[in-house]
């Protein structure tokens, strides 16, 4: 039902089939003024089942299509008593007299909201995974939720791709985060499902969104209470895999017609184990490494804010949010060296890596909104936020003879890596009705300042000695200035179009400072590079909705992915004794042109076909140093062509419902870095399949069973992965008059979520495999207290959930940066 309402609103659904019957009318408030955004439900007379839904326009008018049969209308609006018409026949056009709504009686104390969102909603431009609506999501972090999300792939290094394309831009509450790679994955691991309301997968962003994100945008919406009065909830969670895990949360809210004050706090204490093994053949040596990894996380998440509704036109607000995490990441395991010609073990390396990390992020947003009933709306947002990242890594390396007992030598070092990221942004957006459509214009200024100070110490006995040759400081500034225009209009002939143009001007500067060896002398160096470029990013879509039961949308967009600061630093970082990471100052932005066709059939079956051409695609390339050592660096492959297909279908009948979605993609990677084994020419067909089943068993019990299958694919352009998947099951029970919910689930029941892959590039033949804790048992209890009703006094028009509205349009605070 909610999916249908969303589609009607998104597509501007007011044109109907010319030969069909129409029911028209106008809804007015108690003062005789047109009441906009009122829900009109066409009900079948015999059983009151919903046939169609519509929403009134700015002056309260509505029009809804009927077929032959007996119907009645239900008219509902928050704060007003429901209106029901008499039964009428759908054999001819019918014009209702003005419908006057009455305020809800105060002695009713309001209407308790019990509607439940579907687990997954599919729209023309995005897919929404409603996390709080699914049992099997409890106890997961954000990265695990993304791993299970339709069309999203997480590789062995926790890099994200969407529909076969890398370059995914992650947003938190409608704001892009500046993190990437390991920093991003570590941050996502600190966000728990108890904090998350929904995950939006936006594959066709309009010009209102930033142009970054070749594959699209993943927006993680954090929870916020929207009920009137004083209310709140408390939650407790427990999970058991190899280790026990705990989480708890508190949510408080007070809301009336003038102010909305909200706040929540979440604490997570978890310890996770995973294994990661690698087998590498390089020249005459075989490197066989088996690692056991432990990830301990203690995270505090918070969000607080105030919306003040000055009057019916003006609203101001402030939001402060953050996540403070202490992380302990340990790896242990031997690496066995084998001389390939004789197949004999030459030596053994035993390394135990301990990394103590702080991952702190705090964001502040000030916002103003002006809106009037004639369609004019102005939003202004000012944001500041910072990431405070600290890493203290202790790396002892002990070499033994083939017996693994007799020590040959040892190399012990410590690496301190503080990183500070500061982000400022200011944006404005304006919309108004224009020639029967909606015109939007806006602009944004953003500045990101990054300071990474990498310090390497050699450890001898109890002393740490600073190694200037292996240390580096990298400063990076990026300023983006953007302007956009966007226009959409619903035509009378059942055609809706939208087109937009976004211009982005980028200024970036990077400075890498350290020491280098020049003819036997260590001298300081200062590697400076600058880039300035301006790009245009058009987007357009045309929707044919004359027949609302069979709607077609054709879309186009151009997008960009800029290199992350870590990928530009030319310094060679030593990850361990035999692996280095090196940035590339010549790494260029990658650009994507995407063409899509979407069909929505009977509001249920959704099919999306997309073709993308990616120019200068990023790929993490393994290369060699001194024959036996390797380094990882990112380079621009020549291009990538991707064809993807998504088919989704929801079904519900009485007590049973299911949702199924399949994503398939065909990709072709091609590049030449010098011929021979340094060429990439790969073609891959891959698909993911996800199904969610839900059954209401009565007496407050609900059972859920979900399954995920991921076919073989290609990661980062050079790593061929094998198939994997999982099956989860869960049970929930409502308690205490529906004020509490107890959920229990088991994840990866059959222990099949094991990843593995192989690559052969630049003379290095490698295989990898690994797995996390499986299966896991999870338990969660949530209790809601205070007022859970919508009061009779109607909320002001500008008192709509300001932050949620801004997040959907590209505003609101939560992550870093700004959406426009």
pLDDT band with cut points at 50, 70 and 90 for residue 483: very high
> pLDDT value at position 333?
87
> pLDDT value at position 109?
38
Q: Which residues contact 47 (CB under 8 A, 6 or more apart)?
A: none
> pLDDT value at position 538?
95
Across 16-20, 100-104, 438-442, 692-696, the highest mean pLDDT is recorded for 438-442
Residue 39 near residue 82 (C-beta atoms within 8 A): no
> pLDDT value at position 4?
36
String of DSSP letters for 164-222: TB--EEEEETTEE----HHHHHHHHHTSBGGGEEEEEEESS--TTS-SB-SSEEEEEEE
The Cα 733–Cα 730 span in angstroms is 11
Average pLDDT (287-300) is 92
DSSP E strand stretches across 654-712? 656-672, 679-698, 701-710
Residue 218 near residue 199 (C-beta atoms within 8 A): yes
> Is the predicted pLDDT of residue 583 greater than 50, yes or no?
yes
pLDDT band with cut points at 50, 70 and 90 for residue 791: very low
pLDDT band with cut points at 50, 70 and 90 for residue 104: low
> pLDDT value at position 751?
92
Average pLDDT (134-146) is 72
37-73 confidence digits (pLDDT tens):
788 888 877 767 667 777 787 788 888 877 777 888 8
> Is the predicted pLDDT of residue 808 greater than 50, yes or no?
no
**Least confident range of 20-29, 445-454, 698-707, 713-722:** 713-722
Average pLDDT (524-532) is 81
> pLDDT value at position 801?
44
Average pLDDT (296-317) is 92
Across 58-67, 178-187, 215-224, 477-486, the highest mean pLDDT is recorded for 477-486
> pLDDT value at position 223?
75
Q: Percent of the chain at pLDDT above 70? A: 81
- Structure tokens belonging to residue 357: 């990390």
- Structure tokens belonging to residue 317: 């607000």
Across 165-174, 237-246, 565-574, the highest mean pLDDT is recorded for 237-246
Nearest-CA neighbor of 424 among 383, 380, 365? 383
More confident: 811 or 290: 290
More confident: 125 or 385: 385
Residue 498 near residue 533 (C-beta atoms within 8 A): no
Residue 375 near residue 325 (C-beta atoms within 8 A): no
Angle at 60 between CA 57 and CA 63, to 5 degrees: 65
> Is the predicted pLDDT of residue 749 greater than 90, yes or no?
yes
More confident: 616 or 441: 441
Average pLDDT (139-163) is 72
Q: Could you tell me the strand order of the sheet in which 572-576 lies? A: 572-576, 579-582, 629-636, 618-625
> pLDDT value at position 809?
41
Q: Which residues contact 19 (CB under 8 A, 6 or more apart)?
A: none
The Cα 662–Cα 685 span in angstroms is 13
> pLDDT value at position 671?
63
In which residue are the tokens 């006057």 written? 100
649-660 confidence digits (pLDDT tens):
888 788 888 888
pLDDT band with cut points at 50, 70 and 90 for residue 402: very high
pLDDT band with cut points at 50, 70 and 90 for residue 629: low
> pLDDT value at position 573?
63
Cis peptide before 775 (omega within 30 of 0): yes
217-253 confidence digits (pLDDT tens):
888 888 765 566 788 889 999 999 999 999 999 988 8
Q: How far is CA 388 from the centre of its chain?
A: 22
> Is the predicted pLDDT of residue 765 greater than 50, yes or no?
yes
Whole-model pTM: value is: 0.73
In which residue are the tokens 């338990």 written? 779
Average pLDDT (488-492) is 85
In which residue are the tokens 């403070």 written? 324
pLDDT band with cut points at 50, 70 and 90 for residue 367: very high
Average pLDDT (776-789) is 84
In the three-class reduction of DSSP (H, G, I as helix; E, B as strand; rest coil), residue 257 is classed as coil
More confident: 182 or 171: 171
> Is the predicted pLDDT of residue 798 greater than 50, yes or no?
no
> Is the predicted pLDDT of residue 16 greater than 50, yes or no?
no
Average pLDDT (779-804) is 57
Across 91-105, 234-248, 681-695, the highest mean pLDDT is recorded for 234-248
- Structure tokens belonging to residue 410: 């040892």
**Least confident range of 75-84, 133-142, 217-226, 695-704:** 133-142
More confident: 810 or 307: 307
Query: For residue 567, what is the DSSP state?
Result: G
Q: Which residues contact 570 (CB under 8 A, 6 or more apart)?
A: 512, 527, 582, 583, 584, 585
Across 507-521, 570-584, 668-682, 704-718, the highest mean pLDDT is recorded for 704-718
The Cα 502–Cα 443 span in angstroms is 9
Residue 681 near residue 675 (C-beta atoms within 8 A): no
Q: Which residues contact 55 (CB under 8 A, 6 or more apart)?
A: 5, 8, 9, 37, 38, 39, 40, 62
Q: How far is CA 389 from the centre of its chain?
A: 21
The Cα 145–Cα 177 span in angstroms is 18
Q: How far, in Å, are 288, 345, 350 from residue 411 at the CA level?
A: 19, 20, 11
Nearest-CA neighbor of 390 among 364, 421, 412? 421
The Cα 414–Cα 466 span in angstroms is 9
In the three-class reduction of DSSP (H, G, I as helix; E, B as strand; rest coil), residue 808 is classed as helix
> pLDDT value at position 577?
63
Question: Phi and psi (nearest 5°) for 574?
Answer: -90, 110
Please state, rounded to an integer, the average pLDDT across all residues of the chain.
Answer: 81
Angle at 541 between CA 539 and CA 547, to 5 degrees: 170
> pLDDT value at position 790?
44
pLDDT band with cut points at 50, 70 and 90 for residue 128: confident
441-473 confidence digits (pLDDT tens):
999 999 999 999 989 899 988 889 998 888 888
Q: How far, in Å, are 244, 370, 431, 442, 802 from residue 379 at the CA level?
A: 45, 7, 9, 9, 10
> pLDDT value at position 119?
61
Q: How many CA atoms lie within 13 A of 184 on its CB side?
A: 25
String of DSSP letters for 727-740: EEEEEEEEETTTTE
């Amino acid at each position: 039902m909610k999916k249908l309402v969303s589609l009607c609103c998104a597509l501007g659904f007011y044109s109907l089939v010319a030969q069909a019957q129409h029911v028209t009318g106008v809804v007015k408030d108690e003062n005789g003024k047109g009441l906009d955004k009122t829900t009109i439900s066409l009900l079948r007379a015999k059983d009151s089942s919903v046939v169609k839904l519509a929403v009134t326009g700015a002056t309260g008018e509505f029009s809804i299509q009927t077929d032959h049969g007996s119907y009645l209308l239900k008219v509902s609006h928050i704060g007003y008593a429901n209106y029901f018409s008499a039964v009428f026949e759908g054999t001819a056009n019918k014009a209702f007299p003005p419908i006057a709504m009455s305020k809800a009686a105060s002695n009713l104390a309001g209407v308790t909201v019990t509607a439940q969102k579907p687990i997954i909603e599919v729209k023309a431009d995005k897919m929404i995974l409603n996390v709080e609506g699914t049992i099997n999501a409890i106890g997961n972090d954000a990265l695990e939720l993304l791993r299970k999300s339709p069309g999203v792939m997480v590789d062995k290094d926790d890099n994200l791709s969407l529909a076969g394309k890398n370059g995914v831009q992650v947003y938190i509450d409608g704001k892009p985060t500046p993190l990437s790679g390991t920093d991003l994955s570590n941050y996502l691991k600190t966000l728990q499902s108890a904090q998350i309301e929904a995950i939006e997968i936006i594959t066709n962003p309009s010009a209102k969104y930033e142009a970054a994100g070749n594959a699209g945008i993943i927006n993680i919406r954090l929870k916020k209470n929207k009920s009137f009065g004083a209310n709140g909830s408390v939650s407790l969670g427990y999970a058991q895999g190899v280790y026990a895990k705990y989480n708890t949360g508190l949510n408080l809210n007070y809301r009336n017609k003038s102010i909305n004050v909200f706040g929540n706090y979440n604490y997570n204490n978890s310890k996770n184990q995973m294994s990661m093994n690698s087998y590498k053949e390089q020249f005459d040596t075989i490197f066989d490494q088996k690692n056991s990894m432990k990830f301990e996380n203690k995270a505090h998440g918070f969000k607080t804010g105030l919306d003040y509704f000055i009057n019916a036109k003006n609203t101001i607000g402030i939001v402060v949010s953050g996540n403070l995490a202490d992380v302990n990441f340990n790896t242990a395991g031997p690496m066995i060296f084998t001389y390939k010609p004789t197949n004999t073990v030459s030596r053994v390396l035993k390394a135990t890596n301990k990394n103590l990390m702080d991952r702190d992020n705090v964001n502040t947003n000030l916002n103003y909104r002006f809106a009037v009933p004639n369609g004019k709306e102005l939003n202004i947002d000012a944001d500041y936020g910072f990431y405070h990242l600290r890493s203290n890594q202790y790396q002892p390396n002990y070499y033994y003879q083939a017996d693994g007992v007799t020590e040959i030598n040892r190399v012990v070092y410590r690496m301190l890596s503080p990183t500070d990221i500061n982000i400022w942004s200011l944006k404005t957006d304006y919309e108004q009705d224009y020639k029967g459509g909606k015109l939007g214009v806006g602009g944004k200024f953003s500045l990101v300042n990054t300071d990474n100070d990498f310090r390497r110490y050699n450890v001898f006995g109890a002393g740490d000695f600073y190694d200037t040759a292996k240390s580096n400081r990298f400063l990076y500034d990026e300023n983006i200035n953007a302007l956009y225009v966007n226009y959409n209009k619903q035509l009378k002939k059942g055609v809706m179009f939208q087109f937009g143009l976004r211009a982005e001007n980028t200024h970036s500067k990077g400075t890498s400072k350290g020491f280098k060896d020049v003819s036997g002398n260590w001298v300081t160096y200062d590697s400076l590079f600058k880039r300035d470029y301006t790009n245009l990013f058009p987007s357009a879509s045309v929707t044919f909705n004359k027949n609302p039961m069979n709607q077609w949308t054709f879309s186009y967009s151009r997008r960009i992915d800029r290199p992350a600061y870590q990928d530009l630093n030319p310094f060679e970082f030593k990850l361990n004794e035999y692996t280095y990471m090196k940035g590339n100052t010549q790494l260029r932005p990658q650009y994507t042109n995407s063409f899509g066709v979407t069909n929505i059939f009977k509001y249920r079956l959704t099919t999306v076909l997309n073709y993308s051409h990616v120019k200068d695609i990023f790929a993490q390339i393994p290369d060699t140093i001194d024959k036996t050592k390797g380094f990882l660096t990112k380079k621009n492959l020549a291009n990538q062509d991707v064809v993807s297909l998504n088919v989704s279908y929801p079904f519900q009948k009485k007590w049973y419902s299911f949702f199924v979605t399949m994503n398939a993609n065909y990709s072709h990677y091609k590049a030449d870095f010098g011929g021979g084994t340094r060429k990439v020419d790969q073609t891959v067909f891959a698909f993911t399949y996800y199904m969610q089943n839900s059954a209401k068993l009565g007496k407050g019990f609900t059972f859920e069973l979900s399954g995920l299958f991921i076919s073989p694919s290609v990661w980062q352009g050079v790593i061929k992965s094998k198939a994997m998947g999982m099956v989860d099951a869960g049970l929930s029970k409502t308690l205490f008059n529906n004020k509490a919910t107890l959920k229990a689930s088991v994840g990866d029941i059959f222990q099949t979520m094991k990843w593995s892959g192989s690559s052969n590039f630049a003379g290095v033949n490698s295989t990898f495999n690994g797995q996390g804790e499986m299966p896991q048992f999870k338990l969660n209890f949530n209790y809601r207290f205070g007022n859970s009703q919508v009061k009779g006094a109607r909320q002001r028009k500008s008192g709509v959930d300001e932050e949620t509205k801004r997040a959907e349009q590209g505003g609101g605070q939560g992550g870093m940066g700004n959406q426009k």
